[in-house]
Structure 1
């Protein structure tokens, strides 16, 4: 940590280690990796080979802090203690970004003590948090935690180009166009959120530890797309700092989501790809143009009119009963400033006139305008799925700044409808009678 040195146990094992000293020398912690995973991830983000630049990572000038969260006793699975210690280290060292290529399913989305601390890291300390969306696709509702289920974290899906399919994966007949990997997890979350923010290349030949007895290897997964995106965002943050543009997780997220390149024209593909493929150059131009805008995020909380249900982050209709009638929903929209924002200089003057749009007015009915101030504003959405065809449908309600439409959508309400196929006639019945069993 202080001298930035590492050692190797022996030439036989070729295993590198670092040593940390605590409690005035009374405690020595010897740290090794528990798999090649982290080295590969770090190499994608920031490998630096000045003698052979083709081997560089996305942001070869970046400085890295490696925080081990995996426990060898648990098969390298992360622990709550390890996660919290890593967040503390990121805050203490004033990191600009966090990449977390870890995750698994969770019972409740966007909930728990770790999520509370993540919110503090993002909202108070202004650290941009990027994480893998999960590798459990192509089924719906497969995004993992925390990357695909947490509002403060930018969840990354995995994209594969024709060149990657041919060159890295040795596919005999690569796809003619880029696409999401079939195993990349898909939204929505259980509470209706989109799940995937953007996508990035999800495979790479990158460095691995010396104990593997090879220098590089191919790995794929959203664990690889996350550091690819993180490296791209590191370049964006570096440029913003050089230009004197205020860096905030809120504005950076808006820049990369609103400038991402769409991978598919089908609306429902947003559940797979998010807002599209990361475009660093476009995001940089967006950030330059947004230099003087308030550093604010827009939080939505949704409830169904006439029903007592937990607050949601999107509208998710699934099943025949919910698709046979019109439903009305109340959206509470609140601007969220950083914790150190000035009451008189930032909160009080904040006011935005927003024009509301829906991607399909025949299904989604909304008011036309709202005036948003610091204390928030609510509006209602009427969803009528009665006449739509069976299958998966995805819609959005989004708000545009009337004074600055170039900003693109400044908030989005995701609406997912899965309408089942209606059975004709009586349902099939299987009758079993006069059955005898012998022991």
Structure 2
């Protein structure tokens, strides 16, 4: 809700106070909320943008996992990340990961600032561990996996510092207000970039009779994203995995990626990488089968992985994105009954595309320390081009080009 000036909230329970935005999340009687506010709406639940497809490490690949796995990272090869590291590794840049938690003890993730990290999930389990699932650790490895430890994978910006903003408890969603609170925290800790590989659909125009709730969600989201950008934090968001045309869907608003400020990222990927044939059925920049799209709804396309679901190869998983994972052993009730295990796995989704852009933004900022979020965004967009033969609706300004952005 947006409280009236001088509103008496004593009859309500404040769940999230969002200072600087003019919003609070409360529980209480609707009549009391309405009497004290200039606008309100139910707090929608957002979910992780779970990968459209994923794969545990296959037996025939497990023997190689103690050696550098860069050869399996088609995304880093296509983006020329090793060459970009000759310019910068992203040192001095801070990236907040608003997700399910980061495994700070993973051998490939050695720069997670736990002092600045915060648990927003309400489960009381703290930070630095993937209590909400492997998703946040996979995203974090795409951004900043160590490239100098002679093991595992490399991240796009391995010199960047990560901040764990854990919003998801295990197996549950997160209220919209909690996501907004995590954005504000990212700003408060001076994060240069905030990655959000998550989302939900909320009514755009039609809710009950008047559509006022859809307008309310958009206003709250835009307030948070505009505040972040003005204060020096660039927010990067996954576009979603529903294969939806966001430009022409008049019924729903996709939260948070349809906010007016911030970068909305679609996913691309190959078909045929590492199958043994000399060519690809689809190239690295081709739109993934699951990605959301839409003119004016997408800002950039980036590697997120793809799959041929009708004619899968024995090596289909190689077309996904390889990164770090960590998982806990749990009982049937989801309770943790063992320590975390650390490894690597493949996944594909706009969740994997967004952190490639967050890492690229970190590289641009490390190479240009005085850049504002608008200047970083401009550098990324001006360097990008729409691949020949593909629809601009999938790319916005184009396909991510890290070297030219630098």
- Which TM-score band applies after superposition, normalised by the shorter structure? 0.5 to 0.7
Q: What displacement does 1:183 show?
A: 0.9
In structure 2, list runs of 5 or more residues that go unmatched: 1-101, 106-113, 119-123, 205-213, 306-320, 330-340
**Residue equivalent to 1:207:** 324
Q: How far apart are the structure 2 equivalents of 1:21 and 1:253?
A: 25
Is 2:140 the counterpart of 1:42? Answer: yes
Deviates more, 1:109-118 or 1:84-93: 109-118
**2-side partners of 1:276 and 1:171: how far apart?**
28
Distance 2:277 2:179 in 1: 37
Q: TM-score if structure 2 supplies the norm length? A: 0.55
2:365 matches 1:248: no
Distance apart, 1:208 and its partner CA: 0.6
Structure 2 residue 297 is the aligned partner of structure 1 residue 195: yes
Supply the distance in 2 between the matched residues of 1:265 and 1:227 (Cα, whole angstroms). 26
Of residues 219, 233, 238, the one that matches 2:361 is 233
Counterparts of 2:290 and 2:228, CA distance in 1: 30
Does the 8 Å contact 1:35/1:76 carry over to 2? no
> Which residue is 1:217 aligned to?
345
RMSD across aligned positions (CA): 3.4
In 2, the alpha carbon distance for the partners of 1:227 and 1:171 equals: 29
Contact 1:202/1:225 (8 A) holds in 2 = yes
Tell me, yes or no, if the aligned pair for 2:180 and 2:221 is still in contact at 8 Å.
Answer: yes
Which one has a bigger Cα radius of gyration? Answer: 1
Task: Give yes or no for the alignment of 1:184 onto 2:308.
Answer: no
Deviations 1:58-106 (A, max 9, x none): 100000001011133xx33222342133123212211100100001223
Q: Say if 1:130 and 1:154, in contact at 8 Å, map to a contact too.
A: yes
Shift in Å, 1:166: 2.0
Query: Deviation of residue 30 (structure 1)?
Result: 3.3
Q: CA deviation at 1:247?
A: 1.3
Matched, 1:280 2:387: no
Could you say which residue in structure 2 is the equivalent of 1:150?
259
Question: What residue in structure 1 maps to residue 180 of structure 2?
Answer: 84
List gaps (5 residues or longer) in structure 1: 9-17, 23-27, 189-193, 285-439
Say whether 1:59 aligns with 2:165: no
After superposition, give the CA deviation of every residue in 1:380-427 in whole Å (9 maximum; x if it has no partner): xxxxxxxxxxxxxxxxxxxxxxxxxxxxxxxxxxxxxxxxxxxxxxxx
1:148 Cα deviation after fit? 3.4
Segments ≥4 residues shifted beyond 6 Å: 5-8, 18-22, 169-173
Find the aligned partners of 1:84 and 1:177 in 2 and give their Cα distance.
36
Secondary structure of 2:146 counterpart? coil
CA distance in 2, matches of 1:156, 1:85: 22
Deviation at 1:6, TM superposition (A): 8.6
| 3-state SS of paired residue (2:302) | strand
Tell me the distance in 2 between the aligned counterparts of 1:150 and 1:248.
19
What residue in structure 1 maps to residue 233 of structure 2?
127
Q: How does 1:385-424 map to 2 (within 5 A)?
A: none
Q: Relative contact order (C-alpha < 8 Å, sep 6+): which is higher?
A: 2
The alpha carbon displacement at 1:158 in A equals 0.4
How many pairs does the alignment contain?
250
State the TM-score, normalizing by the size of structure 1: 0.51
- Over 3 Å counting, the alpha-carbon distance change for 1:249 and 1:210 in structure 2 is same
Structure 1: distance between partners of 2:379 and 2:322: 28
How big is the shift at 1:53?
Answer: 6.4
Asked whether the equivalents of residues 159 and 201 of structure 1 are also in contact (C-alpha less than 8 Å), the reply is: yes
1:257 and 2:364 matched: no
